[in-house]
Amino acid sequence: MREPWRSSTRFERGTRAIQHKEIRVDIRDNPLASGRDASPGNGDDDRAASSLFVSSTAKAFRVLHAFDGAARYMTLADIARAAELDRSATQRLVYTLEALGYLRRVPETKTYGLTSKVLQFSFNYVRSHELIDKALPYLLEINRTLGETTNLQEIDGRQIVFVARFLSRHLVNVDIAVGSRLPAFCTASGTAILSRLPAAEQDAMLAAETLMPITPYTEIDPDKLRRRIRRAAEQGYAIVANETVLGDISVAAPIIDQRGIAVAAINISVPTSRWTVEKVEAELAKYVQVAATSISKAKFNGYGR
């Protein structure tokens, strides 16, 4: 049976259209491809009903998450709208977060923005994350050997999160950084991770996901997605092209923790101007497989999905 990405004339036309051009993609306007969690759930409603749940704390985080979108600076009205809070509560929360140093008011305006203090959370996460520590030497070695972008992405609910990243030496200008999120269903890393889950859990995740396209080539047919996941399970790696970023081909292999659970994936991302899917499969798949297997064999503390 021919692979969908090999038989698609639409993919071929799209690939030719972006050959030899600088890749520039801004994911911030797309809630499915930004830092926002476009698929809430995973038991959140049940936990919110608990007597242990502090709603005021949750509201403060909703204010901070109001800045997950494209706007870097927002008025109180904008923040209230994005956080789905009334103006009075928003004003108090913004004042408190400003006093604590997490928000700042832009001089001579009525807008607010995040401060560098929020980076303390990500810094503490990265420096205490044993998997990142184990994976960095492999990411760096692949990056230096191939000169291409390498990523470590972990699963969080129905999304994958970039937790480590080494950029290509070639000119590729894409607005994706550590902390960026993408839906698992349309990424090589997400597919690789899903391929190591039980079939029932795969089906549950696909059924719960909003299968919205990010590019014109994003696969949203559940049956085709299941076939792609099964193929990844058989091969030990997944390849996805043009589905999250036009002009991008990604190959990924899953990383397994001590409990035997797929918790992350190592990924190589290359442009279609210099690579084809066939060449990626022939030359790059082995790199992610070897690295993922080596990291999986290293002892690191597991963490739940």
> Which of 85, 102, 118 is a domain's end point?
118
Determine the pLDDT at residue 8: 40
Residue 43 above 60 pLDDT? no
The token duo for 173 is: 């200008």
Alpha carbon distance 251, 285 (integer Å): 6
Asked if residue 140 is part of any domain, the answer here is: yes
59 lies in which domain range?
44-118
CATH number at residue 206: 3.30.450.40
State the average pLDDT over residues 240-268. 94
State the average pLDDT over residues 135-160. 95
Q: Give the full edge-to-edge strand order of the sheet including 238-241.
A: 181-183, 159-166, 149-156, 262-271, 248-256, 238-241
Residue 61 above 50 pLDDT? yes
What share of the chain has pLDDT > 90, as a percent?
65
> Which of 67, 97, 118 is a domain's end point?
118
- In order of 36, 57, 182, 194, the CA distances from 159 in angstroms are 10, 24, 6, 11
Determine the pLDDT at residue 128: 76
Are residue 235 and residue 276 in the same domain, yes or no?
yes
> Which of 102, 118, 134 is a domain's end point?
118
What share of the chain has pLDDT > 70, as a percent?
82
Q: How many domains does the chain have?
A: 2
- Phi, psi for residue 123 in degrees, rounded to 5: -60, -45
Alpha carbon distance 7, 238 (integer Å): 17
Are residue 282 and residue 212 in the same domain, yes or no?
yes
Are residue 114 and residue 256 in the same domain, yes or no?
no
Are residue 256 and residue 227 in the same domain, yes or no?
yes
Are residue 76 and residue 197 in the same domain, yes or no?
no
Residue 99 above 60 pLDDT? yes
Asked if residue 234 is part of any domain, the answer here is: yes
Asked if residue 302 is part of any domain, the answer here is: no
According to DSSP, the residues that pair with 269 across neighbouring strands are: 149, 250
State the average pLDDT over residues 148-157. 94
Are residue 103 and residue 240 in the same domain, yes or no?
no
Are residue 175 and residue 287 in the same domain, yes or no?
yes
pTM of the model: 0.76
Residue 69 above 70 pLDDT? yes
The token duo for 171 is: 């000119």
